[in-house]
Structure 1
Amino acid sequence: MTNPETPTRAVAWTVADTAVGPLLLAATEKGLVHVVFRADEATTGAALERLASRLGATPEHLPGGPAGDRLREAVTQVDAYFRGDLREFTLELDWSLSAGFNRRVLRELAGGVPFGSVVGYQDLANRVGEPGAARAVGVAMGSNPLPVVPCHRVLESDGGIGGFGGGLRMLDIKRSLLAREGVLPEPLF
């Protein structure tokens, strides 16, 4: 039962087809709140259940209102990025799904590592004032609820590609995004 003194939170969602496969995009009235790669039916269902639990609202598919408006803008910008017409997202973001150190790291990444550039885990830890936290930066990247915040731009100090949220099965997406931004060559096949 909902407490009448607690405002309900609108959550809008859709799945967008992209060059790296289907993306689940979810937004609140504050902004884009969650993006999930490889959003097949099972992945989407599980992600929406977790989102409802964490935000206390049942996500609605493409509703009107402020959450729907934020979602439509996110879809427009994601489409433009994958067409090659957009280099920097200008979306309002709802940081509700990250906190503390992870949020600090993600905000630094969002504002400090532009399209076509990369940063090391250690450098990112240094930037947020936590020089001993390179591994924790990796954890923050792996749990990034908003991969429009470019966690694919974070590499190992030796130049290795490092990990990507979702584990090894997602490295092809990281490589594809880095190639799209000119950091890696396009795959031959």
Structure 2
Amino acid sequence: MTAPGYSVFGTAIGDCGIAWSERGVIAVQLPEGSEEKTRARLAARLPQATESTPPEEIQRAIDGIVSLMDGKRTDLTGVELDYEGVPDFHHRVYEFIRTIPAGKTLTYGDIANILGMPGGAQAVGQAMGRNPVPIIVPCHRVLAAGGKDGGFSARGGVATKRRMLVIEGALADEPTLF
């Protein structure tokens, strides 16, 4: 079996990273403040992976992420993911989250109800916090009750989440003083 690979690439929100196995994408790393920090974080998450040129299908995923973060409506549901080691419930949540289109949001409670788990909003939130492939599984499109931001585990926290939602047109730009 070929060892997993990873690559770092630029986006409108900063340098992101992606890692893959023979079966699909295994990780997406949101910006860590610099290309070097993003690379180091991805390498720490996946010490068995080596930095390499992405195969064609992974390059298509990268191009899609870049396009989405440029504000273009981009469908990433065709990107193959490798869910090895991901709990079944999380897998189920992630596959549902992938169907939320850019520019739209749902709450943790909405998702729990749709998945037949009334009262399961906290479990959905825990799955979001462990999402190994943000952007491809767009956890930033999931809000707390009442449309509140909720949490976001990437560097920059909720500010990063809001920035991504503004880019996608799900939130209006922050008001200015003038």
TM-score band, normalised by shorter chain: 0.7 to 0.9
The unaligned stretches of length 5 or more in structure 2 are none
Structure 1 residue 174 and structure 2 residue 161: aligned? yes
Q: Paired residues, what number?
A: 172
The CA deviation at 1:45 is 2.5
Larger Rg: 1
Matched residues in 2 for 1:121 and 1:47: separation? Answer: 27
CA pair 158-188 structure 1, distance change in 2 beyond 3 A: closer
Moved runs in structure 1, 4+ residues, more than 4 A? none
* 153-162 or 82-91: bigger deviation: 82-91
Matched residues in 1 for 2:147 and 2:65: separation? Answer: 27
Structure 1 residue 62 and structure 2 residue 52: aligned? yes
Residue equivalent to 1:4: none
Provide, for residues 6-31 of structure 1, a one-character-per-residue CA deviation record: whole Å limited to 9, x for no partner.
xx343121111111111111112221
The CA deviation at 1:187 is 3.4
**Partners of 1:119 and 1:153 within 8 A in 2:** yes
Residue equivalent to 1:38: 31
What's the C-alpha RMSD, in Å, of the aligned pairs?
2.0
**Partners of 2:64 and 2:74 within 8 A in 1:** no
Residue equivalent to 2:93: 105
**Partners of 1:12 and 1:68 within 8 A in 2:** no
TM value normalised by structure 1: 0.81
Matched residues in 2 for 1:10 and 1:146: separation? Answer: 19
Matched residues in 2 for 1:102 and 1:69: separation? Answer: 27
The CA deviation at 1:42 is 4.1
**Partners of 1:12 and 1:71 within 8 A in 2:** no
**Partners of 1:34 and 1:146 within 8 A in 2:** yes
SS of the residue corresponding to residue 109 of structure 2 reads helix
Provide, for residues 124-167 of structure 1, a one-character-per-residue CA deviation record: whole Å limited to 9, x for no partner.
11122221211111111111001121101111121111111237
**Partners of 1:120 and 1:156 within 8 A in 2:** yes
The CA deviation at 1:49 is 3.3
Matched residues in 2 for 1:156 and 1:124: separation? Answer: 11
1:1-189 matches, within 5 Å, as 8-39=1-32, 40=34, 41-52=36-47, 58-63=48-53, 68-89=55-76, 90-111=78-99, 113-147=100-134, 148-166=136-154, 169-187=156-174
Matched residues in 2 for 1:128 and 1:9: separation? Answer: 36
Matched residues in 1 for 2:166 and 2:70: separation? Answer: 14
The unaligned stretches of length 5 or more in structure 1 are 1-7, 53-57
